[in-house]
Amino acid sequence: TTTPQKFEFQAEIKQLLDIVIHSLYTEKEIFVRELVSNASDALEKLRHTQLTEKEIHDDLPLEITITTDETAKTITIQDYGIGMTRAELVQNLGTIAHSGSKQFLKALGEGGAKNSNLIGQFGVGFYSAFMVAKSVKVYSHSWKKEEPGHVWTSDGSGSYTVEEAADQRRGCKIVIELKDDCDEFAKDWRIKEILTRYSAFVGFPITLNGKKFETVQALWLRSKNEIKDEEYTEFYKFQAHAHDEPMLRLHFSADAPLAINALLFVPSENTERYGFARLEPSVALHCRKVLIDAKPKDLLPEWLRFLKGVVDSEDLPLNISRETMQDKALIEKLNKVITKRFLKLLDEEATQRPDAYVKFYGEFGLFLKEGAALDFTHKDQLVKLLRFESSLTEKTKTTSLADYVSRMGAEQKEIYFLVGKDRTAIESGPYLEGFKARNLEVLFCYEPVDEYVFNNVREFDGKKIIAADHGDVKLADIPQQGEALSEAEVKDLTKWLKETLGEQVAEVKSSDRLVDSPALATNADKFMSAHMRRMMKAMNK
Instruction: With beta carbons less than 8 A apart as the criterion, state whether 347 and 384 touch.
Output: yes
Instruction: With beta carbons less than 8 A apart as the criterion, state whether 125 and 38 touch.
Output: yes
* Residue 534: partners with Cβ closer than 8 Å, 6 or more residues away: none
How many Å apart are CA 419 and CA 444, to the nearest integer?
A: 6
* Residue 137: partners with Cβ closer than 8 Å, 6 or more residues away: 151, 152, 153, 174, 175, 177
> Quick one: 99 or 400, whose CB is closer to ligand ADP?
99
CB of 36 to ligand ADP, least distance (A): 9
Under the binding rule (CB under 5 A), the answer on residue 171 touching Mg ion is: no
Q: Which residue in the shown chain puts its C-beta closest to Mg ion?
A: 125
Q: What is the phi/psi pair of residue 109, to 5°?
A: -60, -30
Nearest in space to 305 (alpha carbons), one of 296, 313, 314: 296
> Quick one: 89 or 373, whose CB is closer to ligand ADP?
89
Q: Is residue 532 annotated as involved in ligand binding?
A: no
Q: Which residue in the shown chain puts its C-beta closest to ligand ADP?
A: 125
Site for Mg ion in 19-48 (CB under 5 A): 38
Q: Is 374 helix (H, G, I), strand (E, B) or coil?
A: helix
Nearest in space to 124 (alpha carbons), one of 23, 30, 251, 6: 30
Q: Which residue of 126, 204, 265, 361 would you call a contact of ligand ADP, by CB under 6 A? A: 126
Q: Which residue of 29, 79, 450, 469 would you call a contact of ligand ADP, by CB under 6 A? A: 79
Q: Which residue of 100, 156, 246, 420 would you call a contact of ligand ADP, by CB under 6 A? A: 100
Q: What is the largest CA-CA distance in the chain?
A: 115
CB of 26 to ligand ADP, least distance (A): 21
Segment interacting with ligand ADP, rule: CB under 6 A, options 32-40, 419-427, 467-475, 514-522: 32-40
Total binding residues for ligand ADP by CB under 6 A?
A: 18
User: What is the per-residue binding string for ligand ADP in 42-61, x denoting contact by CB under 6 A?
Assistant: x-------------------
Q: Is residue 125 annotated as involved in ligand binding?
A: yes
* Residue 506: partners with Cβ closer than 8 Å, 6 or more residues away: 524
Site for Mg ion in 100-129 (CB under 5 A): 125
Site for ligand ADP in 300-359 (CB under 6 A): 321, 323
Segment interacting with ligand ADP, rule: CB under 6 A, options 31-39, 129-137, 192-200, 512-520: 31-39
Torsion over CA: 136, 141, 143, 144 (sign): positive
Under the binding rule (CB under 5 A), the answer on residue 81 touching Mg ion is: no
Q: Is residue 100 annotated as involved in ligand binding?
A: yes
Site for ligand ADP in 160-189 (CB under 6 A): 172
> What element of type H or E holds 67?
strand 64-69
> Quick one: 81 or 267, whose CB is closer to ligand ADP?
81
Three-state secondary structure readout of 234-277: HHHHHHHCCCCCCCEEEEEEECCCCCEEEEEEECCCCHHHHCCC
Nearest in space to 415 (alpha carbons), one of 462, 375, 465: 465
Query: How do strand 159-164 and strand 5-8 relate by DSSP bridges?
Result: antiparallel
Total binding residues for Mg ion by CB under 5 A?
A: 2
> What element of type H or E holds 233?
helix 229-240
Q: Is residue 121 annotated as involved in ligand binding?
A: yes
Under the binding rule (CB under 6 A), the answer on residue 81 touching ligand ADP is: yes
> Quick one: 80 or 404, whose CB is closer to ligand ADP?
80
Segment interacting with ligand ADP, rule: CB under 6 A, options 75-83, 279-287, 423-431, 532-540: 75-83
Q: Which residue of 36, 82, 240, 440 would you call a contact of ligand ADP, by CB under 6 A? A: 82
Alpha helices per DSSP H over 307-390: 328-352, 354-374, 379-385
Q: Which residue of 98, 102, 340, 463 would you call a contact of ligand ADP, by CB under 6 A? A: 98
Q: Is 225 helix (H, G, I), strand (E, B) or coil?
A: helix
Positions at the binding site for ATP: 34, 38, 79, 84, 92, 99-100, 121-126, 322
User: Which spans of this chain sit near Mg ion (rule: CB under 5 A)?
Assistant: 38, 125
Q: Which residues bind ligand ADP (CB under 6 A)?
A: 34, 38-39, 42, 79, 81-84, 92-93, 98, 100, 125-126, 172, 321, 323
